[in-house]
Structure formats: C-alpha cells, structure tokens
Structure 1
Amino acid sequence: MNEILFLVEEAPEGGYIARAPGESIFTEADDLESLHRQVRDAVHCHFDKGEIPRIIRLHFTREEVITV
C-alpha cells in the first residue's frame, strides 16, 4: 500500500475526528497540528514496519444543515 486516506470531520464538541475507511484506524485531536501527529502515530501503530504507507491523505468533510 502506497497511500492511505483519512476522512476528517469536525467533532461536535470541537476539534477533529479522523478515520481510515477500510482500516480499523480512528483518532481525534483538538487542532490540526495535533491531528497530523495523531494520524501519523496511528498509522505507525497499525501497520508493520515494511507495510507503512508512504503518503497519508486527509480528506476534510463538513456537514451543513439549512432550513427550508
């Protein structure tokens, strides 16, 4: 695997939640700098040394609700 994708959402209580579809990786952080560290750490913990993806892609999603 050369790349791993994380879907990042704003947490309701503040900060960010990141999860990797297809992998059992989930992490959260209070700010973007912390999120980058947490995601890197989660990837290193999840994969064996020779299997760590070289690229981590963060895809930010945002939900917006409007009234009719």
Structure 2
Amino acid sequence: MNETPQVPGIIFQVSEDDVDGGYSASALDFGIHTQAESVEELCVNVCEAVECYFGEATAHPRIIGPPETLTCSDL
C-alpha cells in the first residue's frame, strides 16, 4: 500500500506589502501561496489554499500558527 509520509505541520511565512498594502503567505516546504487585504482574510485564504493543495480526500498536516489568529475549523 502506498502511504503519504506524515508531515507534522505546515509553517507559513507571512509578509505585509508596504507599498500596496495587504498580506501574503507562503508555506515553507510546500507550493502553497495566497494573499489578502487583512490578516483575518489571510487566515481564511490559508485554510482554503491548504485544502485546495491537498484535496478533500487526502489527510493533510495541520497548519502551525498563532492560535489566536489562525483557526481552520476543518483542519
């Protein structure tokens, strides 16, 4: 049976665009990237991007981030 290696979590590097405003997030070790106008919107977009990257049928690693800012109910 082919099993996907278990990854303990996904860490995102978040940056703020000083020129145009907004935020972007890129996962370290994965090709997951997203952006948003606010931190709250970015958290939602990160959850959606992870779900899209791994697909609904695949168990994926948890997202590692500050618990007060990043909550993904489905992850």
TM range (shorter): 0.7 to 0.9
Contact 1:5 1:58 in 2 (8 A): yes
Unaligned runs of 5+ in 2: 1-6, 67-75
Of the candidates 43, 51, 62, which is equivalent to residue 50 of structure 2?
Answer: 43
The answer to which structure, 1 or 2, has the higher relative contact order (CA under 8 A, 6+ apart) is: 1
Letter in 2 for 1:7: Q
Give the aligned CA root-mean-square deviation in angstroms. 1.7
TM-score using structure 1 length: 0.73
Unaligned runs of 5+ in 1: 60-68
More strand by share: 1
* Offset of residue 50 of structure 1: 2.9
Structure 2 residue 60 is the aligned partner of structure 1 residue 52: yes
Name the SS for the 2:58 alignment partner.
Answer: helix
> How much identity, in percent, do the aligned residues show?
36
Q: 1:7-43 CA distances to partner (integer Å, 9 max, x unpaired)?
A: 0000131111100121111100111110110000000
Q: Give runs of ≥4 in structure 1 deviating > 4 Å.
A: none
